[in-house]
Structure 1
Amino acid sequence: MFSNKVVLITGASSGIGAATAVRFASESAKLALTGRNLENLQVTAQKCQEKNNLKPLIIKANLDLDGDVKYIIDITIKTYERLDVLINNAGIFFVSNPEDANMEVYDKIFSTNVRSIYLLTSLAIPYLTQSKGVVVNVSSLAGLRPFSQFIPYSMSKAALDHFTRCLALHLAPKQVRVNSINPGLVPTDIFRRAGIPDADVELIFEKSKESHLLGRAGTVEETAEVILFLASEKSSFVTGETLIMDGGCHLNTTAL
């Protein structure tokens, strides 16, 4: 399905990004994988290579640094000479609310979850235009439904969703499609990296059995399948979409 196509995935060192990389590798994609943790990126790359015998391009980079963002695009094009799919997966999460007035956390969230994606995508547009490519943004249910416990994070994902719609409108004449996937709870390290104790993380996912109507959280593999769909020709007439994948959580008004 993706033979000879170049797929750039951010946040590929763990979680949804790593699972997505492996899934695309199984479809013979040529991969450019970026993240901050080089050791984890190498683990992901090895799993990908076992799928298709193609060695992914590994790019250790910090998306909060403009120079690193430019380098990601430059080295990808230098290596593969094209770009067909951009998957903006990297993101961070912190519990922060207006009473905290923690503007450092607020700025950090928006720098990673919005600003870096805007810049990376902008730099990728000329190459995606040439290939009539696809952008898939990994957002969150929090971008479409209000959650009072993590307002800055929810705001950042709402901004990402509207960027998806605006960019889809802008790039449609160039035959470049842009969509978002909006997962509910999916077991990754995002909560632990935010400093939330393991016991609290376990409680969050235990509660997902009630908040998600299908009685469980999602998986990284399920998320990767939806990302693959949005990037593939199977969704060739889909653009500007924010596709909810949350086991019915958005229908459960008691969970909001």
Structure 2
Amino acid sequence: MDFTNKVVIVTGASSGIGAASAILFAKHGAKLTLIGRDEQRLNNVAEKCQEANGLTPLCLRLDLTANGSCAEVITKTVATYERIDVLVNCAAKMLIGSLFDDSMETFDEMLDINLRVPYKLTHLALPYLVKTKGNIVNLHATKYTKVVHGFLPYTITKAGLERFTRSAAVELSSEGVRMNAVQPGLTKTNILANLAMEKDEIEYAYGVLANKMKVLDPEEVAKMVLFVASDVCPNLNGADIGLTGGTSFL
């Protein structure tokens, strides 16, 4: 897989799957725009990318849900590189909520970052992706058969991203632009640290499951992201590729 001279935007690039994907894209020659909210972590990832290919990434510390942030990503990327080849929508948030709670604020917050931001970034990047016949890769959660209390708002937003991928792929194909999704299972990221859950609740939600499946490293998921974004399978479009570690069997 060769991304030399290709421009790749990675959201959520300061940690987890986004960071691992950014570094791997760099190792395969890509020019990068990295978006994250933690400046120190983002700079650390940028340093590793530069070590990999000698190119300094464009780093944007942004809250993508803020007005004008998505437009800033596209404008600054094009001003710096004059093109866009790949958009990786990896930024996401997981909060606990329930229909029994006053959870609309929680739901809206996750809807903004998990679904609205990928939609808007895709819309804004599309004129440039059409020119390069580029593609979009979305990251969304595994479809568990086991229902876990408190994850309703999160699973709804991620299911929406899955449907967005399948529907948009049909619409974009006439312009030579592909959209696919990668569906990772339980992955070693710091997303659990942001959950307002007690330790025993986290152990119930994930600890038991982890004993029945393979817990993935972000680097393994990143390999799938690169494969999907590459030209290895040029007709791969509208796919929802599961890398679940056995989660789908629960």
Report which stretch shifted further, 198-207 or 3-12: 198-207
Q: How does 1:143-182 map to 2 (within 5 A)?
A: 147-149=147-149, 150-182=151-183
Q: CA deviation at 1:199?
A: 6.3
Judge conservation of contact 2:186–2:247 (CA < 8 Å) in 1: no
Aligned equivalents of 2:215, 2:204: Cα separation in 1 = 12
2:180 corresponds to which letter in structure 1? N
Aligned equivalents of 1:68, 1:118: Cα separation in 2 = 13
Match among 232, 247, 250 for residue 248 of structure 2: 250
Aligned equivalents of 2:212, 2:71: Cα separation in 1 = 40
Aligned equivalents of 1:28, 1:99: Cα separation in 2 = 49
Q: CA deviation at 1:228?
A: 0.4
Instruction: Name the counterpart of 1:90.
Output: 91
Q: CA deviation at 1:110?
A: 0.2
Aligned residues: 248
Q: CA deviation at 1:195?
A: 3.0
Identical residues among aligned pairs (%): 38
1:236 corresponds to which letter in structure 2? P
Instruction: Name the counterpart of 1:208.
Output: 209
Judge conservation of contact 2:186–2:210 (CA < 8 Å) in 1: no
Q: CA deviation at 1:203?
A: 6.0
Q: How does 1:68-79 map to 2 (within 5 A)?
A: 68-79=69-80
Q: CA deviation at 1:196?
A: 3.5
1:248 corresponds to which letter in structure 2? G
Judge conservation of contact 1:22–1:51 (CA < 8 Å) in 2: yes
Judge conservation of contact 1:147–1:154 (CA < 8 Å) in 2: no
Instruction: Name the counterpart of 1:230.
Output: 228
TM-score (norm 2): 0.94
Judge conservation of contact 2:17–2:222 (CA < 8 Å) in 1: yes
Instruction: Name the counterpart of 1:127.
Output: 128
Aligned equivalents of 1:197, 1:135: Cα separation in 2 = 36
Which consecutive residues of structure 2, in runs of 5 or more, have no partner in the other structure?
Answer: none
Aligned equivalents of 2:212, 2:93: Cα separation in 1 = 22
Where in structure 1 do 4 or more consecutive aligned residues deviate above 4 Å? 197-205
Judge conservation of contact 1:205–1:217 (CA < 8 Å) in 2: no
Which consecutive residues of structure 1, in runs of 5 or more, have no partner in the other structure?
Answer: none
RMSD: 1.6
Distance 1:146 1:79, change over 3 A: farther
Instruction: Name the counterpart of 1:183.
Output: 184
2:223 corresponds to which letter in structure 1? E
User: 1:54-95 CA deviation, whole Å, 9 max, x = no partner?
Assistant: 100001111111311110110000000000000000000012
TM-score (norm 1): 0.92
Instruction: Name the counterpart of 2:81.
Output: 80
Aligned equivalents of 1:161, 1:146: Cα separation in 2 = 18
Matched, 1:194 2:200: no
Q: CA deviation at 1:147?
A: 2.9
